[in-house]
Amino acid sequence: MKKQKVNRVKSEYPLLQAMCAIHAPSGNEGNMAVFLLNYIKSNMSKWKVKPKLFYGEGFQHNLVLVFGKPRTAIFAHIDSIGFTVRYGEELVKIGGPAPADKIKLQGSDSKGARQVTLRHIYNSHKQLIGYKQEGDLFETGTDLTYAPDWREDKDYVQCCYMDNRLGVYNALKVAETLQHGAIVFSTWEEHGGGSVAYLQKFLAKKYKIAQALISDISWITNGVKPGEGPVISLRDSLIPRKVFVNRIREIAAKNKCRFQLEVEGSGGSDAKELQMAAYPWDWCFIGAAEQFVHSPDEKVHKQDIQDMIALYKALMTHL
C-alpha cells in the first residue's frame, strides 16, 4: 500500500503511539500485559477511584480492573494480527492481516531482533506469503508484526495496530474518572478468542455484572464517515439485544454525544464469546472507525477518538 504524505508533528497521543509499537500478536501478548500493568500501577493514584487489579495466575496475560460497585464492563483486547514463521521463508497469518509486497515486518528469535520485507512466494501449487532478508532466516515459530511507522497531522493519526491499541487507549482514558465499573484487557481476540469465556464468568460470579461495552475499532464504509463520531454497532456477524442498544442510544442522545450507527453482516469481536457464554450478558460494540483495516497504515480521525472517550464516559456513568 502506498504511504500517504503527511506533515509530521509532535504527537498529541504519545501513549497511543507507544502502544502501537509494542510487539504483541495473538498468543504472545506478554509485552502489552507488562506495559499496561506498569502504566496502571504508575498512574492509578491520580485516578478518581483506585481500582482493584486482577492478573497473574488464573488470568494468563489478561488484566481486569474493578472500580467501586461495577454494573458494566468494558472489554478491550490487547493482541494484534501478525504472522508466524513456518519453514524457511514461508509465513502463516495470525488473524486477518492484509499482506502486500514490500511491507516491513519485525520480530526476534535467539539470534536477535531484525526487520524483514514481506513478499508473495509463487510455486507450482499455490501462492504463499513469505519474507526476504539478508542473512539468517528466522527460526520456525517466530512471530512477526508490522514495523511501526507513526504518522500524524492536525486531523488524523495513522500507524499499524490502531486496532486495538486505540480501544485500549480509550479504556485507559475512561479509567481516569471511572467510579463504578470494570475494565477487561483481553487476549486472543484476533485469532479465535478464548479468554473472554473465563473472564466474563469471573465478573458474573464475583460482581454480578451482566452487560458490556466492546471498546474496539470498526471500519470506514459507505455508511460510516471519518470525523463524524464513533459507531454504535447495531449488528455485525452477531446481533446484540435491541433493548440494550436502544438504552445506549438514549443515553448518548441525552448527553449530546456524537455517534454514527453501523450495520454490517460480517466481522466480530470479544462480543462473540459474551453472547455464547453460559451467563446472560448484554453487549454492544462501540468504537471509532478506521481506514486501511489490518494494514500497517490504519488511520483514525482525531475527533472520533475524543468523541469515543466522551461517549464511553457517559455510558459508564448512566448504564
Taking only the tens place, the pLDDT of each residue in 121-143 is: 877 677 899 999 878 899 999 99
The pLDDT of residue 156 is 98
The pLDDT of residue 124 is 64
The pLDDT of residue 3 is 47
Average pLDDT over residues 26-51: 98
Taking only the tens place, the pLDDT of each residue in 228-280 is: 999 999 999 999 999 999 999 999 999 999 999 999 988 889 999 999 988 99
CATH 1.10.4190.10 fits 14-81+151-318, yes or no: no
Q: Express as a percent the part of the chain with pLDDT over 90.
A: 90
Identify which of 40, 73, 77 has the alpha carbon closest to the alpha carbon of residue 202: 73
Taking only the tens place, the pLDDT of each residue in 168-220 is: 999 999 999 999 999 999 999 999 999 999 999 999 999 999 999 999 999 99
The pLDDT of residue 232 is 98
Question: What pTM value is reported for the model?
Answer: 0.95
Residue 88 CA to residue 74 CA, distance in Å, equals 41
The pLDDT of residue 2 is 43
Neighbours of 124 (CB within 10 A): 4
Q: Which residue carries 499455490 as its cell?
A: 126
- The domain 83-146 belongs to what CATH superfamily? Peptidase M42, domain 2 (2.40.30.40)
* Structural domain boundaries in the chain: 14-81+151-318, 83-146
- Between 117 and 133, the more confident residue is 117
Identify which of 287, 203, 213 has the alpha carbon closest to the alpha carbon of residue 248: 213
Neighbour-count burial for 187-216, b at 16+ CB within 10 Å, e otherwise: bbbbbebebbeebbebbbeeeebbbbbbbb
